[in-house]
Amino acid sequence: MNSRLAFVLAVGLAGALSYVLHLRAEVAVAAAPDGKMLFASKCAACHQATGLGGGPYPPLAGNTDVTAPDTANLILTVLNGRSGPIQVNGKTFSGAMPAWKDQLSDGDLAAVLTYIRSAWTNNAAAVTAPQVAAARNPTALSGAQIFTAKCATCHQPNGAGTTVYPPLSGNPDVAASDPKGMIATIVNGRSGPLVVNGTTYNGKMPTWKGQLSNADIAAVATYVRSAWSNKASGVSEQQVAAAGAAVLSTVGASIFSTKCASCHGAKGQGGGGGMFPALAGDSLVNAGDPKGMIGVIEHGRKVMPSWKGQLSAGDIAAVATFVRSAWGNKGGPVTEQDVAAVK
């Protein structure tokens, strides 16, 4: 063999070998991500190496949001970012925290979260990669876009609402620990009077049923529950799907309280000295076949108003389902199709 060629080959081989070794070293690092190093390279520019923050950047050291036993919100914050006012230890910060979901793997995020929960004076349990993976709800990625496209014209990009549209930011209904009622509102819409933080709104929230998929509703609900000053946990597609029957009965309960309770009593006990019949325990209400009851609601009878034209078939199904399952009643659910079939 030509000696020059042998030299070139040898150099090439050494280069390839060192490249392979280098790769292996990198693989080894990736297998055990170092939370402290990740924090130094990705987070310390804003939150400082001391974790004390400064300016618009909140402290992570001594921050109970960071050390909370339930890590759901912490994980979502770092995955999806957040912006708008946030209160930490009695001080208000207002800046933009970037989303890390596309830049850091589940393992990296678990490592950096474990680090911030145990560094400085913090002393909370580790976060695992499977926990991060579970929170990486792929549908949550488009929540902000759906909000911008479908909701922001009324509720405003910052979620603060207007004099006519209620705020979603800082709204206890939106951040409630059980998201069922809020899911019901987004699915079915709702109208007037609605009291939020002492202000009464009297508008009409559109129905999104048929316009947004369960996944989209989960995404936008997750977004509004975690954006701005809200800090509630995410909503999964399964929760939206599972909310089906409950959605109907939540809507039914609200229709009953606004349209029916004045006569039939808040607990279906009847009223008016016997003029308005009790619906609790009523035989027509509990009948296996709901047609008779639907007929009375649609067409009215004597003093009982006719609701056809005032309530949609979906609303009548919802209120009938509610009445048939409330206060010990045991009638089955009523569907929109059942209502449409009663002429």
Q: Which C-beta is closer to ligand HEC: that of 224 or that of 280? A: 224
Rounded Cα gap, residues 340 and 6, in angstroms: 87
75 forms part of the interface with ligand HEC (CB under 6 A): no
Taking CB under 6 A as the binding criterion, the range among 1-9, 21-29, 301-309, 330-338 that sits at the site for ligand HEC is 301-309
* Choices 10-18, 25-33, 39-47, 240-248; region in contact with ligand HEC by CB under 6 A: 39-47
The answer to whether 68 contacts ligand HEC (rule: CB under 6 A) is no
Question: 67, 114, 169, 185: which one contacts ligand HEC (CB under 6 A)?
Answer: 185
Part in contact with ligand HEC (CB under 6 A); list of ranges 23-31, 134-142, 195-203, 331-339: 195-203
Q: Pick the closer one to ligand HEC by CB: 24 or 301.
A: 301
- SS3 percent helix, strand, coil of the chain, rounded to 5, is 50, 10, 40
Q: Work out whether strand 204-205 and strand 199-201 pair parallel, antiparallel, or are unpaired.
A: unpaired
State the DSSP string of 127-161.
--HHHHHHH--GGGGGHHHHIIIIIHHHH-TTS--
Instruction: Give the nearer residue to ligand HEC in terms of CB position, either 130 or 272.
Output: 272
CB 216 within 8 A of CB 235: no
76, 112, 135, 243: which one contacts ligand HEC (CB under 6 A)? Answer: 112
Question: By CB under 6 A, which span of 12-20, 96-104, 123-131, 133-141 interacts with ligand HEC?
Answer: 96-104
Looking at residues 270 to 299 of the shown chain, list those that interact with ligand HEC (rule: CB under 6 A): 275-277, 279, 282, 284-285, 293, 296-297
